Amino acid sequence: MNDPILFSPITLAAAEGPGIQVRNRAFIAPMCQYSVEAKDGVPTDWHLQQLGSFAAGGFGLVTTEATAVEPHGRISPRDLGIWNDEQLDSHARIVAFEHSQGAIAAVQLAHAGMKASTYPGLPGFTPGYVPEAEGGWQTRTPENLSKDDIAEIVGRFAQAAQRADQAGYDVVQLHGAHGYLMHEFLSPLTNKRTDEYGGDETGRSRFVREIVSAVRAVWPAGKPLGIRFSATDWVENGWDVDATARLAQVLVADHGVTWIDASSGGLGNGTIPVGPGYQVPLASRIKTALDGTNTVVSAVGLITKAQQAETILATGQSDAISVGRAALRDPHWAAAAAAELGVPRDQLPSAPQLHRANW
């Protein structure tokens, strides 16, 4: 194939200036590793080698896993954080290596809400909440947060964005998906508040809009800002793709968001039609709603094959592809996909030390 779209550059726009050019449209989705054994939120050598492998393996943009904006915002005690200087310094080490490999470095800022304080999602751990006697903590839901608590968390996101900038990250992605706190406020399945943070779509999205505005106010105007949504709960009368599209339009027009990543699920017991590319129609619906803007919409969800990814882009269903599990299996998925799609060997987006892979 001549000039595959997947391996053409793409620009993530910013509030001011030219934005940031990404060398290709193969993005790494944030994937929790539950590998901070010291339970202090500090990135480890595991994170350096894993994220570094994705960068050396040819991905254009590498997103660091869900990174908590405060200790109680971690999914598990072994999650990453970015609320202190020690964490910042370790993030900076990872970012520097990703940059040395030609990749753009993104970080997902997150608060797990009612799904915090759980055991790591690794073999050997029992699913469920970690009790306080074992180092767990009281979780936070839309209902048990006062307005002062909400303002504090909004501020924590802004502080985390400032630290992300100091660490050298090029892009911030806010985690509004998978049943975590921002998604919990959006969904009528979990947000039962009757004040200005609940009720209709405007009320339920207020928390998200306040976070986005607070982050955009401190995040450099020349750097892109993104958000990942669960575009649907897959439950009747839950959060759905049309509501997501409406909110995306507001965040793009009024709050400086220029990248939307479309995932789904995480709340309720709906039937999810899992299969190859099952979430691509969600990205397509959002992309249509944002037609005429300079927003990049990325699709994610069992996109595992090079030609599959290329077809999604060629048919205009998304602007970029977020790869998860396939990259866990092969950190050099991007270089292999480029070769499969006909990119000349001397132009493969991989580290020169890998040239004997003979893709």
DSSP state of 118: B
Residue with tokens 């903590």: 137
Distance CA 348, CA 134 (A): 48
Distance CA 179, CA 183 (A): 5
Distances (CA, A) of 273 to 235, 264, 277, 278: 12, 11, 10, 7
For residue 110, the Cα-to-chain-centroid distance in whole angstroms is 9
DSSP state of 73: G
Residues labelled as active-site residues? 180
Q: Is 113 exposed, middle or buried (0-12, 13-18, 19+ CB in 10 A)?
A: buried
Q: Is 258 exposed, middle or buried (0-12, 13-18, 19+ CB in 10 A)?
A: buried
Distances (CA, A) of 282 to 44, 264, 278, 297: 34, 8, 9, 10
Phi-psi region of 292 (alpha: psi -120 to 50; beta: other; left: phi over 0): left
| H helices present in 187-273, as ranges | 201-204, 206-218, 241-255
Q: Is 357 exposed, middle or buried (0-12, 13-18, 19+ CB in 10 A)?
A: middle
Distance CA 69, CA 158 (A): 9
Distance CA 234, CA 273 (A): 9
Q: Is 37 exposed, middle or buried (0-12, 13-18, 19+ CB in 10 A)?
A: exposed
Bridge partners (DSSP) of residue 230 are 263
Is the separation of the CB atoms in 172 and 102 below 8 Å? Answer: no
